[in-house]
Structure 1
Amino acid sequence: MSDEILVNVTPQETRVAVVENGVLQEVFIERSRRRGLVSNIYKGKISRVLPGMQAAFVEVGLARTAFLHASDIAHSGREGEPTPTISDLVHEGQEILVQVVKDPLGSKGARLTTHVTIPSRYLVMMPDDTSVGVSQKIESEAERLRLKALMGQITNEQGEHGYIVRTAAEGVDEEALRADAEFLRRLWATIQERSHSAKPGSVVYEDLPLALRVLRDLGGSGEVEKVRIDSRGTYRKLEGFARDFMPEMISKLEHYPGGRPLFDLYNVEDEIDKALERKVQLKSGGYLIIDQTEAMTTIDVNTGAFVGARNLEETIFKTNLEAAQAIARQLRLRNLGGIIIIDFIDMLEEEHKRQVLRALERGMERDRAKSHICEVSSLGLVEMTRKRTRESLEHVLCEACPTCGGRGSLKSAETVCYEIFREILREARQFADARKLLVLASQEVVDLLVDEESNSLAELEAFVGKPIHFQPEALYSQEHYDVVLM
């Protein structure tokens, strides 16, 4: 696999696209007005303790109070001791150092933890721990043992903090690991010093801007061939960062001065637009329908126009195989998280089910977000979860439709007509002294009332004994109407 990272910068926002073999796989967006908060460290103040939820609300200076669960609070309990309750761990008015693990999502505030972690090029420091872990993506057992032994020695010398060795550390020498550990040790000392003098509700440590963060997190994979940036100022910042921390990436950085927009060059804009649609077309003629709701995301697989295989079972199998690969890409591209239910087309053969599930697992292997995939259920559904730390692409770029309120459907003009008839009856009975009634509604509803429903309207006028007039309103939605007494 060959990856390219494209960085598009404007004064209002920075966008980063990850392209693998010419196909867009991931998009990151950070706006100057609303930067991501994950990994930021705050000095917070407990505003409310909720024993019934084993959680607390914390004021950290954001628009909404953040959420801290008891399981996310570090404590010095020993094995065998009863698990402390939220009331044992914190109290109202207490000042506390917390880190954001999930951005505010929808109506929910940020999710917090006191288990602080600080990432660098090769390591992630765990200040409140002394253990050493190695990334699961480093597959060589010999390399895992080597890295664990080196970091165990460094940890014993420092005697204070634990570390997780990142995938980028594969093959690096002891000197580089020591330099990274020393950098993190100094950074943590600075954070502690700031936290003592900071006021509650203030930021103590802020993670890197998006462009630098992506270079740090993705640049060390060894598969990134090029990083193209369309802003000279951002290019210089990345170049300086690479010179200090990632010298092997300097040759891969490239400033793009072309007149044609960088994202247009790689067809990224069109792919982003497609990622906001419900329907995803498959090359075979089949398609996916993706619906994102508050509780979960559902994905329905359909054969569509694909009729190409020898028999029905083979046609379904091939469609499901292609869908599994497309679903893995769409989850990354749209950044869909939480509970995901996939309704593959029903397969009869167990071997076909196993192969489709394996294709989905292979597709998810390159996804950095943790996921868990269950077996095909008795109803033919695949249940899975994908870790969600930031808003989905749809939530970042879109808002609920003001007409339907996010339902995705409107009452038909016929339904609204009959609602108006019932409202006229109600008003005529309640206000018998009215001389006439005026109905304000959308043009579509008025046209239906005076045309197809004209006979019903005449009967209604005769029944209430009052003339009924209609006035179309251009600003009214199809569901909106008013009945005015005159």
Structure 2
Amino acid sequence: MLVNVQRAPTGVRKRVAIVEEGRLVEIYFECPERPRLVGNIYKGRVETVLAGLGAAFVNVGEKQSLFLSQHEINDAILISKGFEPWKGPPPIQKILRPGQSIIVQVRREGVGTKNPQGTTKISLPGRYWVFLPKEDRVAISRRISDQNEAKRLRQIAYELKAPGEGLIARTAAAGVPKEDLERDFKFLLGTWKGIEEQAAKVSAPTLLYRNPDLVKTMVRDRFTEDVDSLIVDDEAEYKEILHYLHYLHLDKLRGRVKLYRGTMPLFVRYDVERQLREALQRRVPLKGGGFITIDETEALTAIDVNTGKDIRHRNQEAAILNTNLEAAVEIPRQLRLRKISGIIIVDFVDMASKADERKVIERLKQELRKDRVPADFIDVTKLGLVEITRKKEGESLAAMLESLEEGF
């Protein structure tokens, strides 16, 4: 994990890059021009109720109001209004009215002219748990495949939470001692109690809780024992990271945090700048001489795999298989790096062998499982096209860079 900090009179800009085996796989930005709102919790005021859309706009004191769908109204609110949630959401005009105060959380940043999206289904992420104060359920990260461990975590969750509350065990919770899990839960519960107390004292619109900044969020969510090192090029940020690790009771990871003092810029030293530029190109080369092309449209993303050179005088089947296997690794990487979401259609080079097709699909599934954002292989169509879906989480890399008022 690489952390680049740029300090200027206009504010502090931060970039966090995830590098695996020398290859850039994810990158995140934070800058004054585009403050991050996702995760923030507000006491908002309902401005407009749109019965036809089944939604409302909520003023939270930011530049844009939150768009709140009726499907994002939590069960506790519905029950308090006399409705039965299991029967489906009632008309939104029967739940909300203009001028009403309501606690909301930003679930998705605004994109272009679209308003940010809100929810009343509050979630507070910690190191090991996600606390759901208004949802009565327990869930386990899908990345925890050990059924005995999942059972242990589920049992602990039910011991910790009160009726009406929910807990999701995060991937990092696997194998963690019970006392550490309890500490994390108590911290989240205390945070929520503080939010409720403040909400009772203030008028809307007011910010009740600000999500930690980009670097702290990445340290909390992504800096695990699987990460070899976290290298940061700013001394103040370095000290802040060490302090935050102590705050999280993760002193065992402090030795993996390194302060970079080189004369060459950190992102140049680790080849991030070049790979970031390449991530905006349509054509992506493969090691064996082939390439893939990526075309993003509003409806879907089309990815075409090509051998890239004359293979008539080689073992064609072996050459095609090798190209497709390389593409099956590169495509999931590009989806993560470019933050591509929605429907993805992949046209691999035609293979004569069903066994080769199975090898390519299995490699693709294996690489998709590395993605923290849900990305799923759906099917192979009758035309031999591979269908993939990936959950949308904010803007694509291209849109994000384009919308920044000033580049890094």
Q: Same fold (TM over 0.5)?
A: yes
C-alpha RMSD of matched pairs (Å):
2.1
Are positions 1:234 and 2:234 aligned together? no
Q: Answer with 1 or 2: which has the greater Rg.
A: 1
Deviation at 1:82? Answer: 5.0
Could you tell me how far 1:206 is from its partner in structure 2?
1.0
Choose from 100, 106, 113 the match for 1:107. 113
| TM-fit CA distance, 1:308 | 7.3
Change (3 A) 1:285 1:43: same
Partner of 1:170 in structure 2?
Answer: 174
Where do 1:284-363 residues align within 5 Å? 284-305=288-309, 307=311, 310-363=314-367
User: Matched residues in 2 for 1:123 and 1:19: separation?
Assistant: 25
Kindly indicate whether the alpha-carbon contact (under 8 Å) linking 2:369 and 2:375 is maintained by their aligned counterparts in 1: no
Please say if residues 160 and 182 of structure 2, whose CA atoms lie closer than 8 Å, have aligned partners that are also in contact. Answer: yes
Q: Does 1:9 align with 2:5?
A: yes
Question: Structure 1 residue 58 and structure 2 residue 58: aligned?
Answer: yes
Gap regions ≥5 residues in structure 2: none
Note the alpha carbon deviations across 1:233-284, whole angstroms, 9 max, x for none.
Answer: 0011110011121222111111112211111111111000100111111112
- Structure-2 change in CA distance of 1:115 and 1:268 (3 Å): same
Distance 1:66 1:342 in 2: 35
Shift of 1:352: 3.3
Residue 65 of structure 1 aligns with an amino acid whose one-letter code is S
Q: Give the Å deviation of 1:18.
A: 0.8
Query: 1:272 & 1:80 partners in 2: Cα distance?
Result: 46
Contact preservation (8 Å) 2:70, 2:89: no
1:119 corresponds to 2:125? yes
Hey, what's the Cα distance between the residues in 2 that align with 1:99 and 1:119? 13
How much does 1:215 deviate?
0.6
- Where does residue 209 of structure 2 map in the other structure? 205
Distance 2:142 2:345 in 1: 26
Following superposition, the deviation at residue 111 of structure 1 comes to 1.6
CA contact (8 A) 1:285 1:306 kept: no
Structure 1: which 4+ aligned runs deviate by more than 4 Å? Answer: 308-314
Give the distance between the partners of 2:299 and 2:206, measured in 1 at CA. 32
Note if 1:366 corresponds to 2:370.
yes
Match in the other structure for 1:73: 73
Say how many residue pairs are matched.
393
Specify which of 244, 251, 257 is matched with residue 247 of structure 2.
244
- Partner of residue 439, structure 1: none
TM-score (norm 1): 0.76
Aligned to 1:269: 273
User: Per-residue deviation at 1:128?
Assistant: 0.7
Q: Per-residue deviation at 1:190?
A: 1.0
Distance 1:339 1:107, change over 3 A: farther
Aligned mates of 1:254, 1:224 — CA distance in 2: 13
Contact 1:338-1:386 at 8 Å conserved across structures: yes
Give me the identity figure in percent.
38
Match of 1:150 in 2: 156
Contact 1:49 1:56 in 2 (8 A): yes
- Per the TM alignment, residue 216 of structure 1 is displaced from its structure 2 partner at its CA by 0.5
In structure 2, the residue matched to 1:129 is: 135
Write the distance in 2 (CA, Å) between the matches of 1:249 and 1:39. 25
Instruction: Say whether the 8 Å CA contact 1:284–1:306 is kept in structure 2.
Output: no
Partner of residue 195 from structure 2, selected from 191, 195, 202:
191
Taking a change above 3 Å as real, the CA distance of residues 192 and 300 of structure 1, as seen in their structure-2 partners, is: same
- CA offsets, 1:360-410, max 9 Å, x none? 21111111101222111123222222122222221122259xxxxxxxxxx
Q: How does 1:466-477 map to 2 (within 5 A)?
A: none
Q: Distance in 1 between matches of 2:316 and 2:203?
A: 67
State the partner residue of 2:18.
18
Deviates further, 363-372 or 389-398: 389-398
CA distance in 2, matches of 1:228, 1:23: 15
Quote how far apart the aligned CAs of 1:286 are: 1.5
Please give the alpha-carbon distance, in whole angstroms, between the structure 2 residues aligned to 1:396 and 1:54: 29
Greater relative contact order (CA < 8 Å, ≥ 6 in sequence): 2
How far is the alpha carbon of 1:314 from its aligned partner?
A: 4.3
The Cα shift of 1:79 comes to 6.6
Q: CA deviation at 1:85?
A: 2.3
- Which letter maps to 2:298? E
1:84 aligns with 2:87: no
